[in-house]
Amino acid sequence: MMCTLLRHSVPERDEFDIHLGLLDEESSDNTPPSWVRVHRLDCRFSTARSIAAVRRLYADLQPDVSLSFLTRANIAAVLSARTPCVISARSHTSHHLSKGLRGALTRTVVRTIYPRAAKIIAVSNGVERDLRDNFGLPQEKLISIPNPVDVEEIRRQAAETLPVSIDGPFILSAGRLVSVKNFPMLLRAFAVAGEGRKLVIAGEGEARSSLEALARELGIADRVVFPGFVSNPYPLMAAAEMFILSSDSEGYPNALIEAMAVGRPVIATNCDSGPSQILAGQPRASVHGLTYAEYGILTPVGDMAAMVTAMRALADPNKRIEYGKKGRERAESFSAASIKDRYWNVLRAAMDATPAQRR
C-alpha cells in the first residue's frame, strides 16, 4: 500500500523531498519508485531497536511531517518525531493483539502513545470504531481512508500468464494460511457446494498442513489446490469463476477489491472490518444474515450453511456476470489517484496545525 501511494505521488515531488524508512531487512515483491530515497534500518523485528533506529533517522532527516504504517512503526514514529506525525492502523487492532502479557502491553501502548500523533488514519470505518470504542482514542484524531487500489496496474498484470495451471472451472480464495482467515469453514462449504469446480487457496502459513489434512478428510483433496504464495495472483483472479473471502476478521480486505477490479463476483463474510463497507456501502452492524448486497454477497462470520447458499447462488452464470460488472465499477471508487490525494491532504493539514492543536 505504501508503494502504491508513492507511485501515484509524482505531483507531490515538487512540494516535498520524500524518503521511505523500512524497519527490517526482508525481501519484498513491492518496489518503491526509483526517485524515493530508501533507508533500510535492519531493526530485526525488535520494537526497542525500531525506536532507536527511527529516532536516529528522524534526527538525521528532520522531516516536516511523517507517515507510518503498522503498530511497531507507529510506536517508533510517535516516540521519535518532533514534528507532526501521522500514523495508520492497518488492521482491526482488537482482533490482532496477542493474548496474555504481550497483548495487554501492546493495548496499553496503543491507548497511551497513539493519541500523541497528529492524526490516526484507519483503513476502514470498522477499524476507526475499534480504536475509538475499545482503546479510547479521541474521535477528533481519527479519520478513515480506504486502501488505494491500483486498478489499471492490477488489470495489466491480470493479462499475464496463469502462474498455476488449473484444469477446469475454479473458485479462488487467497490470504495467509492462518486461523483468522477461516479456510476450514470454506473447505467444508466447498465440500457441499463445489459441484464440479476446483478450489484454489493461494497463500502460505502455519495452517497449511492442517488444511491439506482437512481436505483429505472431506474427500476433496483432488479438487483443492494450494499453490503457496503467488507473487502475481491477478491472472488467477481474472480466470476464477468467483472470489471468496472467508475471514473471521480483516483490517481491510485488499484482495476483495482486487478481485472486483478484474470483474470477478465476490462472496465475503461480514467480518470486522471492511466487507460490508465495500459490498453494501453500510456499517457492519446494519447488515444481518445472508445478504445479497449491491456489489457482492455477504454471509455471517463462520456460517457454513450461508456460505453454501451463497456459492450455489453464484453457480448461476447470469448472476456472476451481474455481480462481476457491478464489482468492477465499484472498484474504481478506490482508485489509487483519489485515495492518494486524501492521504496528502491529511499530511498537509497536520503540518498546518499549531503545536497546541497537534497535542
User: Which grid coordinates belong to 246?
Assistant: 472467508
AA identity, residue 246: S
CA 121 – CA 347 distance, rounded (Å): 11
299 forms bridges with which residues in the sheet? Answer: 269
Q: What is the pLDDT of residue 356?
A: 42
Q: pLDDT tens, 87-138?
A: 999 877 776 666 677 778 878 988 999 999 999 999 988 889 999 999 999 9
pLDDT bracket for residue 12 (50, 70, 90): very high
**DSSP codes joined into one string, 263-317:** T--EEEE--BSSHHHHHTSS-GGG--SSEE-SSSEEE-TT-HHHHHHHHHHTTSH
User: Which grid coordinates belong to 204?
Assistant: 502460505
Going from the N-terminus, what domains does the chain have, and what CATH number goes with each?
A: 2-148+336-358 (3.40.50.2000), 151-334 (3.40.50.2000)
User: Which grid coordinates belong to 199?
Assistant: 478450489
CA 293 – CA 285 distance, rounded (Å): 14
Using the structure block, give the residue that is written with the C-alpha cell 450461508: 306
- CB contact set of 332 (below 8 Å; sequence gap of 6+): 151
Q: Tell me 262's DSSP state.
A: T
CA 196 – CA 223 distance, rounded (Å): 9
Q: Tell me 48's DSSP state.
A: H
* Other Cβ atoms within 10 Å of 213 Cβ, number: 11
- Report the chain's mean pLDDT, rounded to a whole number: 93
- Angle at which helices 317-331 and 254-261 cross, to 10°: 110
Give the CB-side neighbour count of residue 152, counting CA atoms within 13 A: 6
Residue 357 pLDDT > 60, yes or no? no
Rg of the chain on CA atoms, in Å:
21
pTM for the model: 0.80
Q: pLDDT tens, 162-215?
A: 999 999 999 999 999 999 999 999 999 999 999 899 999 999 999 999 999 999
Q: pLDDT tens, 320-330?
A: 999 999 999 99
Q: pLDDT tens, 249-258?
A: 887 899 999 9
21 forms bridges with which residues in the sheet? Answer: 39
Q: Give how far Cα 285 sits from Cα of 214, 246, 274, 305, 355, Å.
A: 32, 18, 12, 21, 37
Q: What is the separation of C-alpha 228 from the centre of its chain, rounded to a whole number of angstroms? A: 19
CA 158 – CA 238 distance, rounded (Å): 6
Q: Tell me 353's DSSP state.
A: S
